[in-house]
Amino acid sequence: MTLNDKQLEAVEHKDGPCLVLAGAGSGKTKVLTQRIINLIDSGVSPYNILAITFTNKAAKEMRNRVENELGSITDSIFIGTFHSFGLRILRENYIDIGYTSNITILDTDDAKAIVKRILKENGYDPAKYEIRTIINKISSAKNDGISPDEYTKLFLNDLDIVIGLVYKEYTKLLKDNNSVDFDDLLLKPVELFKKNKSILEKYQERFKYILVDEYQDTNGIQYELCKLLAGKYKNIFVVGDANQSIYSFRNADYRNILNFERDYKNAKVILLEENYRSTNNILKAANSVIKNNSEGKKLNLWSSKSDGELITYVRCEDEIKEANYVITKIKELVQQGYKYSDIAVLYRTNAQSRVVEDAFVRNNIPHNIIGSYYFYNRKEIKDLIAYLKLIYNPNDSVSLERIINVPKRGIGIKSIENLRNKATSNNMSMFDAIDSGKELEFKNIILKLQEFSLNNNLSDLIEEVLTTTGIRIEYELNKSLENEAKVENLNEFKTVALMFEESGIYDLQTFLENIALVSDRGQYNNDGDEVSIMTLHSAKGLEFNIVFLLGMEEGLFPHNRSFDSLSDLEEERRLCYVGITRAKEKLYLLNARLRTIFGKTSGTIESRFVREIDEKLIDKLSTIKEPTEKRLIGNMYNASSEIKTGDNVIHTVFGEGIVVNVSGGIATIAFKNGIGIKSIAANHKYLTRKWFYITKLYDIIII
């Protein structure tokens, strides 16, 4: 197999620590597999090699490549995921961790049932807690190596006190049942190695050569496991790219790869910068974006391929026209000979998918939503639609059973069964059978909403459902990234209604019929030749000839949640870097001048990531005409030099503030949210003026 000079240097490295910084498309899998083969050719026993990946798919691909070269000898090499490796450790050492041989692994549903049981037994109403949030908090603690006792000392707010109690009881109950959960597969081996030095030494002797893929994605406990195993011989070979670290919400810590040279003195560092995937213009764009981050070694990706086409940047009137442009361009590309499977549509948030899905369905273009549910098939959306169906048709018992306890009202399975039996016995609908208790409270909510629907439009009805039923507030109160996304999706559903109203559809019946048609997936051919539609996070590790990157707007991408933290903003930039480098031949960047999202229409400004790309690399198009009757107040970009006393400003880290004084190029700023007074250079790159424009309709649109 042909290797370039840097790849060959990595493959032939034998003893001692080695960090391979492998840029996107630089052939890291080839390097890992060829290194395994080279180690065995140089006399290393397959039994002494450990190769760890993050996914079963990556492990399978690596094993197949090695097996094609070495045959059955591959069986002696451990090639697998972190969790499969952890399970092997537990199976081989169950006595030393106080278990019997028949260890069982709990799935998520089992964990939910246990958490509910613990809450109830300790006097807490499970219906008042988001069980998923509790499980996620416990999982994060385990991945950071935080014990139940440590958790109760570190976190002291009301919810965390409850979680600490649950965590402690949960851990004991698992042990009593000879069970572990997914996180224990890593935590317990680390605990075992720290507790029992002889067992650790056994595995250090066994696995003298350690290879780790995607090292930038390791969390605290994975990092600790690798460090312990490599502690004696230090023959640890890690491959990764800090510029592609995008999973902090999964507890990944990119500092692990940044600190590799600190952890392992005299480590060899090899840079893989030659890209075999993309044209040079795409790579230059990726380089120009990521260089604005302050941390991480900057790889200068290049290719022996041609420069290729310029990157197309399109500013559309709104998100509908944004989706329509994608559809039109895809039709052209297919006519030119491309397959649907050559194309990917990427976006920052799942809430953006609804408009895109609708456009693909209406134009009968085969597509596949990867890494998420279809918008109309997401639980929170199906719950909301069920409310609307029951408002329209109270005899719809399927919808009633779905949402009678959504959000949780203390109406259990037994109560629903009794209601179902009563309805059957009296030959009536379940809705009509309700006459008392918490069920009656639910019925009265539906009756009230029915009355409201008679004299109000669709969008107002949906807002009333979201407010009156409590399905939105439940997610808002139980803070998590998952629940934030659900709130965004619920609010986005209002946008659907607004668009129907704009098209002249106002009645609930027609609305529900149209939703049913759009959400019906069975009519489309699933033969594999489909456009891939997914979030940027889901696109990691994939590649496509053509990539459409939507929503390149401030507040959407980068997401407004990142504005208060430089670290979060830089992760958004790494996410953009990942998105750009998915494209092999053609890259389209799109945004909308006006976007209706989460039920609210507002003006937008282009993402800073677009502005960070060298203009020479971009072919700018526009499907719109900017309003002629508008008055710009301030200037969002390059406005720092004009900052004066009294200006409203935004700082990337500190948020919004008011300038109280400017002197000698230094701005004194009073920031909100308890930040206080800060003195900052008036031309600092993270400081901009807040601006807005006034349309001819005299609507003020804050940007």
Residues known to be catalytic: 28-29, 213-214, 244, 582
Q: What angle do CA 149, 155, 161 make, to 5 degrees?
A: 75
**CB neighbour burial string for 542-561, b if at least 16 within 10 angstroms, e if fewer:** eebebbbbbbbbbbbbbbee
What H or E segment, with its residue span, contains residue 689?
Answer: strand 687-689
The Cα 188–Cα 143 span in angstroms is: 11
Residue 639, exposed/middle/buried by CB under 10 A (0-12, 13-18, 19+)?
middle
Phi, psi dihedral angles at 276 (to 5 degrees): -110, 10
Tokens 């290393």, residue located? 44
Distances (CA, A) of 675 to 404, 653, 666: 44, 10, 18
Report the DSSP beta bridge partners of residue 543. none
Tokens encoding 490: 């619920």
Using only C-alpha atoms, what is the Rg of the chain? Answer: 28
Beta bridge partners, 10, equal none
- Sign for the pseudo-dihedral over CA of 26, 46, 199, 188: positive
248 burial (CB, 10 Å; 0-12 / 13-18 / 19+) is middle
> Among candidates 155, 154, 184, which has minimal Cα distance to 171?
184
Return the half-sphere exposure (C-beta side, CA atoms, 13 A cut-off) of residue 630.
16
Terminal C-alpha separation, the chain: 53
Tokens standing for residue 88: 């092997």
Q: Output the CA angle 332-495-345, nearest 5 degrees.
A: 30
Sign of the C-alpha dihedral computed for residues 404, 410, 413 and 417 taken in this order: negative
Q: What are phi and psi of 47, to 5 degrees?
A: -65, -25
Please enumerate in sequence order all residues whose Cβ is within 8 A of that of 640, keeping only pairs 6 or more positions apart, or say none.
682, 683, 684, 685, 687, 688, 689
